[in-house]
Amino acid sequence: MNTFNVYPIYDINPVKALNSTLWDENGTKYTDLYGGHAVISIGHSHPEYVKAISDQVANLGFYSNSVRIPLQQQLAEKLGELSGLPDYQLFLANSGAEANENALKLASFHNGRKKIIAFKKGFHGRSSAAVAVTDNPNIKAAINDDSHVIFLDYNDAEAVREAVDDETCAVIVEGIQGVGGIHVGSDEFMKAIRESCDQHGAVFIHDSVQCGYGRSGKFFTWEFSGVKPDIISMAKGMGNGFPVGGILISPKFEAKYGLLGTTFGGNHLACAAALSVLQVIEEEGLLDNARVVGEYAFDQLKKISGIKELRGRGLMIGIELDQPVKEIREKILFDDKIFTGVAGAHTIRLLPSLGVCKEEIDAFISALKKYLI
Ligand code: PLP
């Protein structure tokens, strides 16, 4: 049997990693400034994280949500503390798409509506409506039958005010559009979403799957605008490579048995990994590092000629060139041994570990400069 060939891949086989360094099977060393799509938050193979998972698997790898799992409560408390949302509730899933599916379902259960407002160039995952083909009316939300999604321009606060009405179930938005090209949501835009949702009883869902978990220098990017969403979806950096996702749910939503559910969500291993990530973020001051090293990267990048536009916040950085980036990115990977990502054809995307250092950013900038001359 072969794998189903859906991913274009580079012929590199990483076998070992530490912090922002990867080694392939030949011992060649690479600097990782992409973290496998923003997943590596505290650095590869962080010793505390490795120990937390190893200890957990040695004792108990998995049992289902039918027993007490104190690690879930510990994780919820730590998340509440670090995100400044101690009164929110945590539901755990396994990926970003699943987190968003649960967020949308919960919104629909809450107000019984179908109309969803989303944004052009937004990305929220690839799961299709599995529930639509599940024969159980208790777990079907209105949005599973005949969902009605309206796509508005990102950052168009006026369009939001016009589109949200008494039939709107939810507005779902990324704090910083990742796949769509690292576009930062303005404060005015986020405030317009909050006010419109409040006015019409719609649910504000903030997709923090890529921009969250400290990447911007704040725990979540909605903090910049000072408005609180009703539901916040998370994944990627949450487990530093262990698949874990979830939603933070405002106290205005009441839980009831059977409303949401999943076999693997919140399992012992996932919780041990996620808790360890939060402990390391706190102990090592990684939010500050993301802010400081991010500012440094932006300052240095601003000095380079040949960049059309720089976008982002903290360690979520988009470098738009006025030429396609494919060739330059491949030179940076194969000649300079630095992993980066892309968003569209013209933008290089950097999503390094929150512990990345200035020297690693310098190495990338020296490489980039060579190819922009
Ligand atoms: N939401 C955002 C903002 C994302 O960037 C992604 C993945 O890139 C997802 C959701 C989907 O996450 P996953 O691939 O874990 O399902």
Residue-level pLDDT at 170: 96
9 domain residue, yes or no: no
In a mutational test of the pocket of ligand 1, which residue from 7, 127, 236, 242 has the highest number of ligand atoms less than 8 Å from its CB? Answer: 236
pLDDT at 128 > cutoff 70: no
**Looking at the structure, do residues 199 and 264 belong to the same domain, yes or no?**
yes
**Looking at the structure, do residues 65 and 114 belong to the same domain, yes or no?**
yes
Exposure of 175 by Cβ count < 10 A (0-12 exposed, 13-18 middle, 19+ buried)? buried
132 domain residue, yes or no: yes
Domain that holds residue 20: 14-46+285-371
Count the domains in the chain. 2
**Looking at the structure, do residues 315 and 343 belong to the same domain, yes or no?**
yes
339 domain residue, yes or no: yes
1 domain residue, yes or no: no
Task: Find the mean pLDDT for residues 302-329.
Answer: 96
pLDDT band at 135 (very low <50, low <70, confident <90, very high): low
61 vs 40, 198, 243, CA distance in Å?
A: 22, 42, 14
Q: Which residue has the tokens 């919140």?
A: 266
Neighbouring C-beta atoms of residue 80, cutoff 10 Å = 16
Ligand 1 proximal residues by C-beta, below 6 Å = 37, 95-97, 100, 123-125, 174, 178-179, 207, 209-210, 235
305 domain residue, yes or no: yes
pLDDT at 58 > cutoff 90: yes
pLDDT band at 140 (very low <50, low <70, confident <90, very high): confident
pLDDT at 129 > cutoff 60: no
In a mutational test of the pocket of ligand 1, which residue from 102, 210, 232, 349 has the highest number of ligand atoms less than 8 Å from its CB? Answer: 210
Residue-level pLDDT at 132: 61
**CATH at residue 336:** 3.90.1150.10
pLDDT band at 133 (very low <50, low <70, confident <90, very high): low
**Looking at the structure, do residues 228 and 247 belong to the same domain, yes or no?**
yes
6 domain residue, yes or no: no
pLDDT at 209 > cutoff 90: yes
Of 230, 251, 283, the residue at which a domain comes to its end is 283
- Within 8 A by CB and 6+ apart from 95, the residues are 125, 127, 235, 243, 245
**Looking at the structure, do residues 124 and 107 belong to the same domain, yes or no?**
yes
7 domain residue, yes or no: no
251 domain residue, yes or no: yes
Mean pLDDT score of the chain, rounded to an integer? 95
pLDDT band at 303 (very low <50, low <70, confident <90, very high): very high
The one-letter amino acid code at 86 reads P
**Which 3 state secondary structure label does DSSP give 311?**
strand
Exposure of 283 by Cβ count < 10 A (0-12 exposed, 13-18 middle, 19+ buried)? exposed
How far apart CA 178 and CA 92 sit, in angstroms, is: 22
Atom of ligand 1 lying closest to residue 208 CA: 3
**Looking at the structure, do residues 180 and 317 belong to the same domain, yes or no?**
no
Residues 145-200 pLDDT 10s: 767 899 999 999 999 999 999 999 999 999 999 999 999 999 999 999 999 999 99
Of 264, 283, 302, the residue at which a domain comes to its end is 283
Residue-level pLDDT at 87: 98
How far apart CA 40 and CA 9 sit, in angstroms, is: 19
Residue-level pLDDT at 126: 82
Q: Which residue has the tokens 């390094």?
A: 352
**Looking at the structure, do residues 279 and 340 belong to the same domain, yes or no?**
no
